[in-house]
Amino acid sequence: MRLGLAEVEGGVAVLVRVSEDEAAVVEGIASLDAVFLGERSIVDLRAAAETALAGGRRIPLAEVAWLPPVRRPGKVLCVALNNSANPDRIMSGPDTPAMFVKPASSLIGSGRPIRLRQPMGRVHPEPELAVVIGTGGSDIPVDSAYDHVFGYTIINDLTSPTMRDTDTFHYRAIHPDPEAEDGIRYVDSWVSYPARYKGSDTFGPLGPWVATTDEITDPHSLRITCTHDGGLVTDDNTANLRFSVAEVVSFASEYLTLEPGDVIAMGTALKKSAKGGAVQNVDLNRLGGVIEVAIEGIGTLSNPVEWR
């Protein structure tokens, strides 16, 4: 099934997808967050969604005011440069997934505006598959990683290369040196800090649906497209991810305990489109317009740009 969250008649409701045009209201479950925090069980959620599918109140999708399906995840963990399409771009880097954290305050639902300001500089989309954790854990083996996945959604991991450049230090890091008089030596280093360039408000469009694992039997065979004002920007496939969902879940959980409701953004589909475009060319802060990310079997995440 595919589950979402929306504002309905002044309140918040969990929705289950009925068809391309219609959802049903899931009664008795306040939110997916409530389920992930343990206030209700996933079994309760599924039962309530089945009841809604069988005869619950219908809402036309055209009228839905979406919220992020998970509103306040413990963390949104994002994998960087996880695409096998462009290995020649990397001169040196880790042979394990490199990750950063996007704050929950950056998340918005489908249809909600991406709100930009001129000081943010260039802002481009990053169309990504996102994993929603259902069962937490640490040191999760690759073999059982999928047991921890609740479902899959879409994230547009908006990025400002301008703010990335600003928030980068070239500095002399202090390293221990037993030979030195004061016990330290300086090492020329570059370090960049992503809170603003990845985590500003509205930089995390998420949703609209979470497709549960029974709907997505293979998360690595999904077409993923990104369009800007209807024009194709990228057309890729999750088969091109360098590290798989199982590898990322397992590796991440060796260091950061995964909790129910955590979202893991799998990294950008970066393959160039037939038209020679690249996501980095779509400067939303200059162009405005509507940016959409569609993943086969999940849905379409669509957000307009507005300036504030």
User: Does residue 194 have a cis peptide bond before it, meaning omega lies within 30 degrees of 0?
Assistant: no
Give the residue with the Cβ less far from a second copy, 90 or 232: 90
Q: What is each CA distance from 308 to 118, 122, 201, in whole angstroms?
A: 9, 15, 12
Q: Note whether 81 binds a second copy by CB under 8 A.
A: yes
On whether the CB atoms of residues 219 and 243 are closer than 8 A, the answer is: no
* Out of 6, 80, 248, 293, the residue judged to bind a second copy by CB under 8 A: 80
- Whole-angstrom distance, CA of residue 131 vs CA of residue 10: 29
Q: What is each CA distance from 149 to 78, 82, 210, in whole angstroms?
A: 16, 19, 11
On whether the CB atoms of residues 81 and 198 are closer than 8 A, the answer is: no
- Total residues in contact with a second copy, by rule CB under 8 A: 67
Q: Closest Cα partner for 273 from 219, 230, 305, 227?
A: 227
Q: Note whether 307 binds a second copy by CB under 8 A.
A: no
DSSP element (H, E) containing 141? none
* Out of 17, 68, 82, 100, the residue judged to bind a second copy by CB under 8 A: 100
Q: Note whether 12 binds a second copy by CB under 8 A.
A: no
Q: What is the DSSP letter of 273?
A: P
Q: What are phi and psi of 81, to 5 degrees?
A: 45, 45
Distance in Å, CB of 5 to a second copy, minimum: 17
Per-residue contact string for residues 35-74; x = within reach of a second copy by CB under 8 A: -------------------------------------x-x
The interface with a second copy within residues 246-265 (CB under 8 A) comprises: 252, 255-259
User: Does residue 208 have a cis peptide bond before it, meaning omega lies within 30 degrees of 0?
Assistant: yes
DSSP element (H, E) containing 162? helix 161-166
Give the residue with the Cβ less far from a second copy, 255 or 307: 255
Q: Closest Cα partner for 252 from 105, 100, 128, 70?
A: 100
The interface with a second copy within residues 175-214 (CB under 8 A) comprises: 175-176, 181-184, 186, 190-196, 199-201
Q: Note whether 89 binds a second copy by CB under 8 A.
A: yes
Q: What are phi and psi of 292, to 5 degrees?
A: -125, 140
Q: Note whether 77 binds a second copy by CB under 8 A.
A: yes
Distance in Å, CB of 79 to a second copy, minimum: 9
Q: Closest Cα partner for 72 from 116, 28, 36, 125?
A: 36
Distance in Å, CB of 308 to a second copy, minimum: 9
Q: Note whether 104 binds a second copy by CB under 8 A.
A: yes
Distance in Å, CB of 27 to a second copy, minimum: 23
Distance in Å, CB of 262 to a second copy, minimum: 8
Q: Note whether 105 binds a second copy by CB under 8 A.
A: yes
Single-letter amino acid code for the residue at 55:
G
- Which residues of this protein are in contact with a second copy, per CB under 8 A? 72, 74-75, 77-78, 80-81, 89-94, 96, 98-106, 120, 122, 138, 161, 164, 166-176, 181-184, 186, 190-196, 199-201, 252, 255-259, 272, 276-278, 280-281, 283
